Amino acid sequence: MTSKTTALSSDYATKLAAQLAELVTSEAGLTDRLFRCRQLLEEIFKAVTAHTSIAFTGLYARMQYAYEAGITDAELNKQLQLLRLLTNKVVHHDDFEFGEGDFASAVLILERTLHKLSGSRQALNPAITDFITRSKAAELVSNRAAADQTVSHIYCSVMSWKLAHPKAGKKYIELDCLTTEGTQISITLWEREGNDNPGRRWTVLDKVLWKYCNLNLYNLTQVQGMAHRYQSTQLTLIILEQDFLVDVSSVADCFQNADYFPELFILNKFFSEPITIPLAKGKFVNHVFDELIRDPARSLKEIWTEYKKDNPHHVFALGEPAWQEIYDQVLADHYSQLRDVASGLHKQNCQLEPSFISIKYGLHGRLDVMSLPGQKLPKYSIMELKSGSAHPYDVWKAHQMQVVGYNLILKEIFGAANLASSSIFYSRSSQTPLRHVVNNI
């Protein structure tokens, strides 16, 4: 059996170790052996996350959850992520060069993972230990060129900018800026080919910048041999400083699955939100969830009757028949999931609808539920409730960006190391109501 202090049962860890031992003596080609290492990696984390009711969309999400939940530590997670990237390149990039040393490193990382997650006090398989010793297996090393030239933060005012002609097929925008110390700097922001992250399509800045606007730029690199010249990386983050705090939900509403529309932030301000049955039902579902977290034994009928007394304007706007319809729909489609998830949260130390602001990112937001650090998991985690239709297998883009925005705020307040998993709770989904959200910023 799996104990509370282990993530893998000893029997299952021994079984996977036996498969790994067979692999180190296999005469299969190097590519096939590394591909099998990838399969073992996926099997490990499918088992690790099997206990949770959260839905995951891939290996990265499962590994990130394990790290945020304290199942793997920072150093092991780093090696596991490097192994995931290595096996991705082996499988998908024909021009990627790799060797037997990479296979030895993969075996080393998998052995350490099985050993840690099973809580074993001795070697799981002597053949693996012997292979690691004979091959002088070493940890994987990330290839980060010019890491020593990374600049974590620059605050500056924009003097001029221009869209440049593509170089080697890559679009980019050039900025000429002035720092608060009066130093003139130039910044090249590269548009990466195949970039599916709309938040880093830097050429869009051409439409929104103005002279003397202020920028906070994070994670740039200095161009080698050129003073005061910088360029973007995959981790670059840019905040165009505004005159007011922006609500995270309003930003998230600008995203759709295939694209994003910043103009909606302004256009939505021109329309008031009338009381409709879907809107009223959404508000009621959120209220039911809050009440069940406080007391999971409360009946829906009791909560519904009390809610109508406290919100007579909603009753008058829609009429009693409409509220009876809302009650019937919530009872049929939502209540069971709301009660089950709320029962779990009732046992935890959590806050309902806490509000936060971030000066650094210019954001403010009100979360649905935030779990506070405890003995089992000494980190903060958030859950957002959505009463509409769930994504077929993942989360809707706007919902993901809402959680990412909240995580940015919490990262500034509590620090990235103190944040655990994030999830969307689709109360209408009876099969997989909880969906893990990967925070990739």
Instruction: Supply the pLDDT for residue 176.
Output: 96
- Summarised one tens digit per residue, pLDDT across range 236-246 is 999 998 778 99
**Residues 6 or more apart from 225 whose CB is under 8 A from it?**
none
For 138-153, give one letter per residue: b (16+ CB within 10 A) or e: eebeeeeeeeeeeeee
Residue entry with tokens 């009650």 = 327
Question: Band of the pLDDT at 411, cuts 50, 70, 90?
Answer: very high
CATH superfamily of 147-241: Nucleic acid-binding proteins (2.40.50.140)
The answer on pLDDT for 145 being more than 50 is: no
Which CATH class, in words, describes the domain spanning 10-134?
mainly alpha
Taking only the tens place, the pLDDT of each residue in 328-345 is: 999 999 999 999 999 999
Q: Which H or E run contains 190?
A: strand 184-190
Say what the alpha-carbon torsion angle 37, 43, 46, 49 is, to the nearest 10 degrees. -80
Q: Is residue 148 very low, low, confident or very high in pLDDT (cuts 50, 70, 90)?
A: very low
CB under 8 Å to 334, separation ≥6 — which residues? 285, 288, 387, 427, 428
Name residues whose C-beta falls within 8 Å of residue 219's C-beta, 6 or more positions apart in sequence.
150, 151, 152, 233, 235, 236, 237
Give the three-class secondary structure for 185. Answer: strand
345 close to 293: Cβ distance less than 8 angstroms = yes
For 373, residues 6+ apart whose C-beta sits below 8 A from its C-beta are 379, 380, 418
Q: What is residue 345's DSSP assignment? A: H
Neighbours of 271 (CB within 10 A): 7
Give me the pLDDT at residue 1, please: 40
Supply the pTM of this predicted model.
0.77
DSSP tag of 54: E
148: DSSP letter: G
What is the structure's pLDDT at 88?
A: 87
CA angle in degrees (0–180, nearest 5) for 334-336-340: 120
Instruction: Tell me: pLDDT of 389 over 50.
Output: yes
- From first CA to last CA, the distance across the chain in angstroms is 37
Residue 421's pLDDT band, with cuts at 50, 70 and 90, is: confident
Where are the domains positioned within the chain?
10-134, 147-241, 277-341
pLDDT, residue 276, reads 87
Residue 394 contacts residue 404 (beta carbons within 8 Å): no
